[in-house]
Chains A and B, each alone.
Chain A
Amino acid sequence: MSKALRPKNIVIYGLLAPGLAVFVLCCIAPLFVAVYNSFFDWDGGPVKRFVGFQNYAELVQDRAFWSAFKNNLTFIFWTVLGQIGIAFLIAMLLQSRILKFKNFHRTVIFFPVVLSAVVVGFLWRIMYNSEYGIVNTLMRAVGLGNFIQLWLDNPDIVIGSLAIPKVWQFIGYYLIILLAAIQGIDQSVLEVAELDGATGWKKSRYIVVPLIKNTLMVTIMLCISGNMKTFDQIFVMTGGGPGTSSEVVALYAYNVSMNRMRYGYGSTAAIGILILSLGLIMLSRLAGRKKEEE
């Protein structure tokens, strides 16, 4: 932007300030409050006992927390695979010449993103219902009766069943990002590749993926962090059940704070989520970078 058009710094900061203030107040400040609370044994009353790192020591040994983290990892595995994988396929389809009504498809696929996770959760709970749910009814109708499952009652598949709505909901979000990245690729590169015989699968694997790699890394990071803190939809659909087989860390932190009234330890669990998420993201970035060096 030319210097003459650029508003004064004070205007820029002035315009940024309200948004920043809200963000700091609602997102950053509570984080520090949680860090502070995590050093106390506190059940919500005026009596707060300082316990230093005792909560953290307990958390490291807490099997329920780690089993919840394991559930998170499974959940992340399915959602990363589903959300980004399917979004990539659709993005490639939208780029190809076979598909008609591209704008329509893009809009419809983006639709669920704006829905509230609670609404999606309730919707899918009804769809999964074993008696009158549309999933089982459809399967029966097309003769797949043998594959009917108790989607939310079987501890072995419950995480997968919970991941499907999440995948369905957020494909559109990643689709938009990936589409933008693919459209950013120079058309001449693609044309040359096609002339050289790189079509279909080969084109995506050797031309498109390497060229949008940075964007892919960002989407994976967004996907991991988004699904580490997943809470609302699982809360609505199973509440962590059966037993604790779909309890994720955010739900565990909530249960510890709200149901067992251990706010200090609940805060510790929340900080645990933060640390583990950062760790996961660093890992994913490291893995990405290593490949680049090869």
Chain B
Amino acid sequence: MRNKTWMRLASLACAGIMGVTMTGCGQKAPEAAGEKIEISMLDFFIPGEGVTKAMKPLLDEYLAKHPNVTIDEESVSNSDLATKVQTLAAGEELPDIFMIKGQMAETFVENGKVFSLSEALSSDSAWKDNFKEGVFSNFTIGEKIYAVPFQVTNTCVFYNTDLFKQAGIQEFPGSWSELLDIIPKLKEIGVTPIVLGNKEKWNAESVIMSTLGNRLTGDEWYQSIRDRSGAKFTDPEFVQSLQALSDLAAAGAFNEDVNSIDGAQQRQLYMNGKAAITIDGSWAIANFDENCPEEVKNVTEMAALPMVEGGKGNPETITGGAGWALAVNSKISEEKKAVVIDILKAMTGPEYGTAAIEEGTLTAVKPGEEVKIEKTIAAKFDVFAKDRPFIPVYDHQLSSGVIDVMQSGLQELLIGRVAPEELAQRIQTEYENNGK
């Protein structure tokens, strides 16, 4: 028995070594049609996640139909993927298909890392038209599309109506000052008013600031920041939005250990009924449906972040956009090109749309048929998000330097260690110095 395990391990190791050496010289032999083709792929489809459950069967089906194609797939977690893709790109070792984030798109295109998919998309209008509106915007550089999205993420407020009732609050506040008013009431009944896990730094920026910023600045200011046509982070409207968050933190709305717990712990606290409000992304929905106790699940409702008085934004909007998308290596060989496009089509067709909705994730692709959503939170969210206009998420589009400074700064802002004006100035300095 022991011997057998050992043998198995040894053979695994040999296979590993062979795999390494084989990928090393994979590009050597030209592959004629019908011959064996191996496509390498790097993604975050780790077992157990909703998107994987929707995507995997479609890939398997494709492989069954095309026995000459094999996929050498490597799946890592979402947060590791960003580092991994960038490292591989720097070392010129990107696989044939990989995933990029909106904020990477510009650099990757400038450096000629990604293959333009515009042609493939326009030559198959059925494929292209089945994508939801606006999902390509993060991956369109200079009129050309460089990656196909499959998932959209939204952020919104989830709140526990039961705890609200206990605190004597009738409905979710519609304005920022009303939100500030309910904080003491919620604290009185011994719960954390708003739970936030900002250890990984992106949470506060991505799920709160992107929306809160828009409430005050409106779309025009943001567009101007993106185009570099005059708007500044030190403009009063953006500073006011930082001030609004600072006020909320100063009112004691957040848990004290806001910068040392992470997103998973944040959800945990909400699901245990220890917090009345959590502001989170749509990625949390499947998690809520699976792990949330019934008594919290049934009283959870969704709302848009309250409007700040005097803001220029539309109070109905929530953030939405395709964070990650599938891109193709610019060095792809002619033989592989057709196969890769076929695989992408198989992965992002209407069947995927249907499967993804059934798994409770939000897709960038329209479903092949009407799907009835059975899961509680997913169904509520579907109603909530219907026909709502979307606004972009900062870290999907702004340059990484600016985002890095903003994210670190927000951690300090949340514990009152930096004034809104000073943080705005820091972001602006980074924007002027290092943005392109």
Chain A residues engaging chain B, CB cutoff 8 angstroms: 43-47, 125, 128-131, 150-155, 238-245, 247, 255, 258-263
Contacts and interface: CB of A to CB of B under 8 A. Distances in A.
A163 to B, nearest CB: 16
A127 to B, nearest CB: 12
Interface string B252-291: 0000111111000000000000000000000000000000
B375 interface: no
B400 interface: yes
Contacts of A153: 256-260, 415
Contacts of A151: 260
A128 B417 CA distance: 21
Nearest to B192: A131
15 contacts: A44-B90, A45-B112, A129-B257, A130-B256, A130-B257, A153-B415, A155-B415, A240-B408, A241-B201, A244-B408, A259-B403, A259-B404, A261-B104, A262-B401, A262-B434
Contacts of B400: 259-261
A238 B87 contact: no
A247 B409 CA distance: 13
Interface residues on B, range: 20 to 34
Q: Which 8 A-B pairs have the closest CB atoms?
A: A45-B111, A243-B412, A44-B90, A152-B260, A242-B259, A242-B411, A260-B401, A130-B257
A150 B86 contact: no
Nearest to B88: A44
A215 B411 CA distance: 42
B179 interface: no
B86 A243 contact: no
A155 B111 contact: no
Given A46-B111, A152-B259, 16 more contacts: A44-B86, A44-B90, A44-B107, A45-B110, A128-B260, A130-B257, A150-B260, A242-B417, A243-B409, A243-B411, A255-B404, A258-B83, A258-B87, A259-B403, A260-B434, A262-B401
Nearest to A263: B90
Contacts of B113: 45
Contacts of A128: 260
A126 to B, nearest CB: 10
A243 B418 contact: yes
Main secondary structure of the interface of A (DSSP, over half): loop
Nearest to A258: B83
A43 B411 contact: no
Contact of B199 (A45, A47, A131, A239): A239
B58 interface: no
B351 interface: no
A151 B257 CA distance: 9
Contacts of B256: 130, 150, 153
Given A44-B86, A45-B112, A125 B260 contact: yes
Contacts of B199: 238-239, 241
Nearest to B87: A258
B246 to A, nearest CB: 14
A261 B107 contact: yes
B417 A155 contact: yes
B200 interface: yes
Contacts of A154: 415
Interface string B35-70: 000000000000000000000000000000000000
A259 B104 CA distance: 10
B313 to A, nearest CB: 27
A290 B87 CA distance: 46
Contacts of A155: 412, 415, 417
A131 B108 CA distance: 43
Contacts of A150: 256-257, 260
A34 B409 CA distance: 29
Nearest to A130: B257
Contacts of B258: 153
A151 B261 CA distance: 12
B164 to A, nearest CB: 22
A255 B408 CA distance: 11
A262 B90 CA distance: 11
Nearest to B409: A243
B112 A46 contact: yes
B81 interface: no
Contacts of B104: 261
A258 B107 CA distance: 13
Interface in B92-125: 104, 107-108, 110-113
Contacts of B200: 239
A249 B83 CA distance: 19
Contacts of B87: 258
Contacts of A247: 408
Interface in B397-414: 400-401, 403-404, 408-409, 411-412, 414
